[in-house]
Amino acid sequence: MTSTSELKYKRILLKVSGEVLMGDQGFGIDMKTVQAVAEEIAEVARTGVELCLVIGGGNIFRGLSKAAAGMERSSADYMGMLATVMNALAMQNALEQLGIDTRVQSAIQMNAVCEPFIRRRAIRHLEKGRVVIFAAGTGAPYFTTDTAAALRAAEMDCDALFKGTSVDGVYSADPKKDKSAQRYDSLNYMDVLSRDLKVMDASAVSLMRENDIPIVVFSIRTEGELDKVIHGGGTHTVISN
């Protein structure tokens, strides 16, 4: 365990794709995988890092793919946002089983299930050591949870936006398909945007660039990695100015 004074980042927002939660089953929520990710998060929460979470919904429902299949885009997107609420509740449950206090705040009001998003209240939760999980994305269709993560990271005055993926950083091509793909230790925002590197949506990257908040890309599937990266170690790519 490391003291907070050694922390490189004191308050972060961690974005986890919905796909990370489906494990090997190819769809939905695999509770074993949720528990494994929750353990990674709990480890850093215990060191005193103030943690915000945004979880995607792609393991359950993606608006764009249903819109392509003939559904009205806005309705499909609202369904996608509801999927993120299910993931948020699964993660809340897994974290609380590990003894971590959490609150879920949703951009779409769902008072019987979780709190509405109230920025000042969320900050207070963080100060009290609770992990705050932001659900329902931005609350608006035509956005993604990457953009929601960037928006909340800026609103919550986070030191960095962490993107937990299944690989250990940003590569020149998909390392699972192209053996010659090169990994970067650092990049600037414009590199990511102009070369269309698949890290986060362009709108999320632009928002982080305008607000000078670094994006840290690392593998959430590697045990202990989140804790290492938060303390400035581990393998990761930093995107900054």
R_g of the chain computed on alpha carbons: 17
Question: What are the tokens at 232?
Answer: 């400035």
Nearest to 196 by CA among 174, 212, 211: 174
Distance of CA 94 to the CA centre of its chain: 16
Beta partners for residue 196, in sequence order? none
Candidate list 63, 164, 169, 234; residue touching ligand UDP; CB under 6 A: 63
Candidate list 9, 117, 134, 143; residue touching ligand UDP; CB under 6 A: 143
**Local structure of 116: helix, strand or coil:** strand
- The reply to whether 56 sits near ligand UDP by the rule CB under 6 A is yes
Candidate list 51, 148, 187, 230; residue touching ligand UDP; CB under 6 A: 148
177 burial (CB, 10 Å; 0-12 / 13-18 / 19+) is: exposed
Binding segment for ligand UDP among 61-69, 89-97, 119-127, 213-221 (CB under 6 A)? 61-69
- The reply to whether 64 sits near ligand UDP by the rule CB under 6 A is yes
Candidate list 105, 117, 141, 171; residue touching ligand UDP; CB under 6 A: 141
**Identity of the residue, 7 or 94, whose beta carbon is nearer to ligand UDP in the bound complex:** 94
Binding residues for ligand UDP restricted to 69-88, rule: CB under 6 A: 76-77, 80-81, 83-84
What residue spans of the chain are helical by DSSP H? 31-46, 63-68, 73-97, 119-127, 145-155, 189-194, 202-210, 225-230
**Identity of the residue, 29 or 230, whose beta carbon is nearer to ligand UDP in the bound complex:** 29
Residues in contact with ligand UDP by CB under 6 A are 17-19, 56-58, 62-64, 76-77, 80-81, 83-84, 137-138, 140-141, 143-146, 148
